[in-house]
Amino acid sequence: MDCNHLQDVRAKVVREITGLTEQQLNAKQRHDVWSIGQICHHLILSEGAFADAIEQGQKNDQESVVREKPIERTLDRSVKTDAPKNILPNDGPFQVSQILEGFEHSRRHFLRVIERISPEEDYTHKSVRHPKFGRLSIKQWIELLPYHETRHIEQIQELKADLSINV
């Protein structure tokens, strides 16, 4: 696992929200679109769900060959995906400090989970169901996280442009 890439992507998310006012963080262009704060809250909840899925997969004694899925398609924002209920953000309001603290906590938890994977362990043969891709190997669950965050960085950038936020 390339933890540097994971950290680089998170740093981009943090740069996108650093300097936002509470009003900017919680502004919504339309009622059916998430605010930047809600996007960030979703990322925090998602990282926790990814960590939980990886832990569940590690505990699974059954090993099977799972074919690799095209997880890079996560970056294609023309394909809309509804988030599962367990990772839907609440309405807020959010504060940047609260989001940054949530990012720190969820990342620490995620890293603790993947650090427990033995380097000798073949984590391509243990899998857990993903709501969009079906069964994903633990390896692909780990690889999916930066794709997911990158997708939402683009969403944040788009929302900032639509709201004329120049931070």
CB 123 within 8 A of CB 139: yes
Asked if the structure places residue 139 within a domain, the reply is no
- DSSP 8-state code for residue 137: E
pLDDT higher than 70, residue 122: yes
pLDDT band at 2 (very low <50, low <70, confident <90, very high): low
On the CB side of 70, CA atoms within 13 Å amount to: 3
Q: Say what the pLDDT of residue 32 is.
A: 87
Q: Is 9 exposed, middle or buried (0-12, 13-18, 19+ CB in 10 A)?
A: middle
Domain total of the chain: 1
pLDDT band at 126 (very low <50, low <70, confident <90, very high): confident
Q: Say what the pLDDT of residue 132 is.
A: 92
Give the alpha-carbon dihedral of 151, 137, 90, 12, to 10 degrees.
-30
Please give the Cα distance from 157 to 68 (Å, whole number).
Answer: 30
Asked if the structure places residue 135 within a domain, the reply is no
Asked if the structure places residue 52 within a domain, the reply is yes
Question: Which domain range does residue 64 map to?
Answer: 3-118+150-162
pLDDT above 70 coverage of the chain, percent: 98
Asked if the structure places residue 138 within a domain, the reply is no
